[in-house]
């Protein structure tokens, strides 16, 4: 069995849709795909993509990203209703959104989706991954979620993130006899937001800030995600959201992000232009975990 990671496929872009459709129909039929959110804000397109990857892989695991919960101004309801509908659709398509233990010859492998949202510093400074940035717009005028995400009142919950984190009720009690691979759409720790020198060098790009007023750390994720990952004893955690592909090893856990991202991000080298396929994370024939992470080891 092999396990692959991918996120932020944004198939509203024709080029991205073609990329996903071009994934081999035969190479992955015994394999697992972890799809860490941001498929499309369009319900039908989102279902179409999930159906497409479900045909190609033996199993697909998924959590919604923020784009998947966007509402157009003429759409009724709220983003939480849209999330519920999407999870129902996943059940119909046999796409997993809950933890599941897979047995691979002698190894038990838990795949654990983690629900969350980001926390802005003004909502809860202790939960937010916020890192100040000189000259930033604190209102994030350019952040589409401000207009396209519509929450109901989360009775009893301080933030949307608190609500979603509370949905992770059925987490497995794991021990050292099992491998645990968890995943979320959102970022679990602030170090992951920023590139290392080695990463910039490998992409061959000069570190200029294209959006000096935009501070992504305001909407990146939340610290409680990291607590859940540690509680689970994850060996590998896969995440998305930022559209910056990273492979880091921090305090015993490998953190991976493998986003398809936007065509313009690939054109500008922020994401490798030649992204060929989902990222291979686990391969029994190769002895298990297959990635050796360079930057960020400690």
* Residue 264: how many other CB atoms lie within 10 Å: 10
Contact window for Fe ion (CB under 5 A) among 36-44, 145-153, 229-237, 280-288: 36-44
Say which residue the tokens 């309801």 belong to. 77
**Cβ at position 259, least distance to Fe ion in Å:** 7
Q: What's the angle, vertex CA 86, arms to CA 188 and CA 14, rounded to 5? A: 85
Which residues make beta-bridge pairs with 100?
A: 111
Which CB sits closer to Fe ion, 92 or 146?
Answer: 146
- The region of 5-13, 112-120, 244-252, 267-275 touching Fe ion under the rule CB under 5 A is 5-13
Select from 13-21, 24-32, 34-42, 152-160 the region that touches Fe ion (CB under 5 A): 34-42
Q: Which is nearer to Fe ion, 38 or 199 (CB)?
A: 38
Residue 10 vs residues 108, 150, 185, 241: alpha-carbon distances, Å: 32, 20, 13, 11
Cα 237–chain centre separation: 10
Of the candidate spans 6-14, 18-26, 181-189, 202-210, the one that interacts with Fe ion by CB under 5 A turns out to be 6-14
129 CB contacts (<8 Å, ≥6 apart)?
Answer: 118, 119, 187, 189, 190, 193, 217, 220, 221, 222, 223
Q: At CA 133, angle to CA 127 and CA 136, rounded to 5?
A: 105
Min separation Cβ 1 and Fe ion, Å: 28
CB 264, min distance to Fe ion, A? 13
**Choice between 186 and 282, CB closer to Fe ion:** 186
Nearer to Fe ion, 66 or 182 (CB): 66
Contact region with Fe ion (CB under 5 A), list: 8-16, 133-141, 146-154, 184-192: 8-16
Single out the residue of 31, 38, 68, 226 in contact with Fe ion (rule: CB under 5 A): 38
Alpha-carbon span 156 to 53, nearest angstrom: 37
3-state secondary structure at position 171: coil
Q: Are 190 and 216 in contact (CB under 8 A)?
A: no
Least separation in angstroms between CB 187 and Fe ion: 12
Would you give the DSSP letter of residue 164? Answer: H
**Minimum distance from residue 185 beta carbon to Fe ion (Å):** 8
68 sits near Fe ion (criterion: CB under 5 A): no
Cβ nearer to Fe ion, comparing 64 with 99:
64
User: Is 8 a binder of Fe ion (CB under 5 A)?
Assistant: yes
Residue pair 150/78 in contact (Cβ under 8 Å)? The answer is yes
Report the interface residues with Fe ion, using CB under 5 A.
8, 38
């Amino acid at each position: 069995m092999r396990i692959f990671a991918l996120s932020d496929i944004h198939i509203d872009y024709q080029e991205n849709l073609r990329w996903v459709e071009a994934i081999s129909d035969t190479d992955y039929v015994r394999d697992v795909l972890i799809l860490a959110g941001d498929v499309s804000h369009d319900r039908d397109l989102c279902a179409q993509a999930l159906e497409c990857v479900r045909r190609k892989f033996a199993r697909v695991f998924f959590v919604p990203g923020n784009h998947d919960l966007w509402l157009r101004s003429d759409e009724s309801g709220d983003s939480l209703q849209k999330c519920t509908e999407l999870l129902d659709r996943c059940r119909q398509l046999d796409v997993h959104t809950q933890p599941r233990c897979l047995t691979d010859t002698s190894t038990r492998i838990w795949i654990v989706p983690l629900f969350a949202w980001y926390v802005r510093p003004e909502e809860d400074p202790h939960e937010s991954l916020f890192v100040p940035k000189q000259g930033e717009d604190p209102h994030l005028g350019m952040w589409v979620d401000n207009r396209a995400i519509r929450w109901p009142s989360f009775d009893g919950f301080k933030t949307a993130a608190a609500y979603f984190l509370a949905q992770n009720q059925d987490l497995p009690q794991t021990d050292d006899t099992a491998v645990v691979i968890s995943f979320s759409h959102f970022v679990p720790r602030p170090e992951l937001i920023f590139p290392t020198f080695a990463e910039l060098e490998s992409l061959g790009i000069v570190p200029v800030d294209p959006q000096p007023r935009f501070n992504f750390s305001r909407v990146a994720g939340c610290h409680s995600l990291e607590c859940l990952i540690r509680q689970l004893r994850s060996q590998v955690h896969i995440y998305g959201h930022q559209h910056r592909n990273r492979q880091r090893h921090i305090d015993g856990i490998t953190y991976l992000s493998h986003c398809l991202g936007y065509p313009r991000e690939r054109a500008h080298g922020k994401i490798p232009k030649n992204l060929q396929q989902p990222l291979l994370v686990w391969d029994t024939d190769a002895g298990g975990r297959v990635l050796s992470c360079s930057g960020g080891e400690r």
